[in-house]
Amino acid sequence: RRRGLMTAAVAGEVAATPFHAAQRTVRDNGLEKNITVRLADGLAVIDPRDGITAISICGMGGETIRDILDAGKAHLGGHERLILQPNGGEQPLRQWLMDNGYRILSEELLQENRFYYEIIVAERAEPVTYTDEELYFGPLQLQARSPQFLAKWQRMLRQKHKTLASLKQAKQSVPEDKVEEIAREARWITQLLA
């Protein structure tokens, strides 16, 4: 609000303690006229009269964001821009977006210390089909291949190789499909970096 980017917002919290903390933050910043805080689960915070144009879900796993979107589909009008910041699990989130008629408009990769965070912006559009590799890496990031993107995947490739090596050493059997999935991802990353 301070930068004039929005006129009103609705913040939702599912638990009482974060709900009260959010109310306090809004009050302490003098934003009660602009931000409404509601105690509700996921997209149930949205009332059709709110006129929501953008929905931001950040700071949780991609599977959790996917589940929130899926459970709250009835609260989506279809015109909202989704701004999503998953902490991992980007592939299943992108799969949900594709399966539900969303086109990825923008992808940004941020690094904080040793952690990489992706921001995915999507809107309902004509049906789009992403390849398995595009769902895995991000269709726009795959095209742009930024230095940060390549650094992330170099690191991920090292992790995949370590995982595969430890699975070979494992005393208990590991499901073959799990090993094959990791090996396939390692091949994709190797091809990406070639």
| 89 found inside a domain | no
Q: How many Cα atoms sit within 13 Å of 32 on the Cβ side?
A: 5
pTM for the structure as a whole: 0.89
pLDDT at position 170, please? 82
| 185 found inside a domain | yes
pLDDT at position 187, please? 96
pLDDT at position 7, please? 83
Could you list the residue range(s) of the whole structural domain that residue 156 is in?
Answer: 145-193
pLDDT at position 3, please? 65
| 167 found inside a domain | yes
The residue among 116, 106, 111 whose CA lies nearest residue 86 is 116
Number of domains into which the chain is organized: 1
- The tokens for 121 are 């912006």
pLDDT at position 2, please? 59
| 121 found inside a domain | no
What are the start-end ranges of the H helices in the chain?
Answer: 16-28, 62-71, 90-99, 132-137, 139-144, 147-169, 176-193
| 129 found inside a domain | no
| 163 found inside a domain | yes
- Ordered mean pLDDT values, 10 residues apiece, the chain (194 residues): 74 94 96 93 91 94 97 92 96 98 97 92 95 97 95 96 91 87 96 93
pLDDT at position 83, please? 98
CB 138 within 8 A of CB 118: yes
| 13 found inside a domain | no
24-31, Cβ contacts within 8 angstroms, sequence gap of 24 or more = 31/1
